[in-house]
Amino acid sequence: MASVACIGECMVELRQAQGGASAGQGGGLYSRGFGGDTLNTAVYLARLDVKVDYLTALGDDGLSDEMIAAWNAEGVGTRRVVRLVGKLPGLYMIQLDAKGERQFFHWRDSAAARQLMSLPETDEILNSLMSYDIVYLSAITLSIYDAPGRERLFAAIKRARLLGTRFVFDTNFRARGWPDRDVAREVFAAAFAIADIVLTSTEDLLALYPGESHDQLMARLPSPELVFRLAEPVSLLRFPGGTSEVRAEPMTKPVVDTTAAGDSFAAAYIAARLAGSDPVEAAQAGHRLASLVICYPGAIIPGYAMPPKKRHRPAASRQASK
């Protein structure tokens, strides 16, 4: 069975509760959950019957216990989660506008996940990457580590790729996570250079390379397989042997919350590619799941709302990168 390692950070999520402002609270009522971009992807991968482990660090507190229990309940593997004494997970808050667009506020400077690349257990975790078919992480993941930590992670990914593991990089860019854009561009370039698949968007790339055209932005990415999501629900694909444009089906329900649209797209895309679908079919699957997810509040939709599962062709066996 194909397997995926998702690396990143899960935080305590606070999102506006319905009716908070109208009840005279000034929008001050929030519901609590858990979320993080790569964790959201891991949950959706598990729901799509992909064997997935989440690689992160948590504290020894009750909230971290709840996270572990929730991930296990979803079928996300937790064997590579490091627990740190006296530490806590980070926290973020989501505010939504009338159109369902979100704004994030983070409190994470001392979160346990930031130490994952500098622990006694780090070498064991990094050596485990070669046992997976795919290693998936995002720019947010890279932003929480220091420069030596990123170098250790990239070196481990390069070793894993020699044995056939594929690296999928999602450019989920949040400017507040980086000291400046020059550092972000440097780290992005390093990730692009070793990525087998890049999942990106105009929102992410134009923030780093303002004023460039779609062609100019795509030319910056040397990866053999590229999914470039535009502002409208369209993806431009580049893959060995061709290019394509994939348009999402028209929405039939109102958009409630765009949180995890990209995360769910990534999960459906990866799951489809592992199951043998070509990039066009995988992008279609990504658009379908993302279009469903944005019709519900929060990052993770109810299990009953997941789309019916499709049968795919068997996936090709692993081949070592050259």
Per-residue confidence (pLDDT) for residue 108, from 0 to 100: 82
Q: Is residue 12 classed as helix, strand or coil in its secondary structure? A: strand
Which residue matches tokens 């994952």? 116
Question: To 5 degrees, how large is the angle CA 75–CA 169–CA 147?
Answer: 105
Per-residue confidence (pLDDT) for residue 256, from 0 to 100: 87
Q: Is residue 219 classed as helix, strand or coil in its secondary structure? A: helix
Burial 24-56 (b: 16+ CB within 10 A, else e): eeeeeebeebbbbbbbbbbbbbbbbebbbbbbb
Task: Provide the residue ranges of all domains of the chain, joining segments of one domain with +.
Answer: 3-303
**Cα gap 285→252, rounded to integer Å:** 17
Contact 181, 46 (CB under 8 A): no
According to DSSP, the β-strands at 81-84 and 225-229 are: unpaired
Catalytic machinery residues = 263
- Closest by alpha carbon to 116, among 170, 57, 73? 57
Q: Is residue 86 classed as helix, strand or coil in its secondary structure? A: coil
Query: Rounded to the nearest 10 degrees, how much is the dihedral formed by the CA atoms of 48, 130, 162, 277?
Result: -10
Per-residue confidence (pLDDT) for residue 98, from 0 to 100: 67
Per-residue confidence (pLDDT) for residue 318, from 0 to 100: 58
Report the Cα 214 to chain-centroid distance in Å.
22
Please write the tens of the pLDDT for every residue from 92-118: 887 767 665 667 788 888 899 999 999
Contact 265, 229 (CB under 8 A): yes
Report the Cα 215 to chain-centroid distance in Å.
24
Structure tokens at 124: 């064991």
Contact 5, 129 (CB under 8 A): yes
Run of H or E including 193: helix 181-194
Contact 74, 46 (CB under 8 A): yes
Q: What is the DSSP string of 53-83?
A: EEEEEEESSHHHHHHHHHHHHHT-B-TTEEE
Distances (CA, A) of 72 to 42, 47, 78, 270: 11, 12, 7, 21
What stretches in the chain show pLDDT beneath 70? 1, 17-27, 96, 98-102, 310-322
**Which pTM was predicted?**
0.90
Structure tokens at 86: 């006296």
* Sign (positive or negative) of CA dihedral 119, 121, 127, 133: negative
CATH 2.60.120.10 fits 3-303, yes or no: no
**Cα gap 114→89, rounded to integer Å:** 10
Run of H or E including 311: none
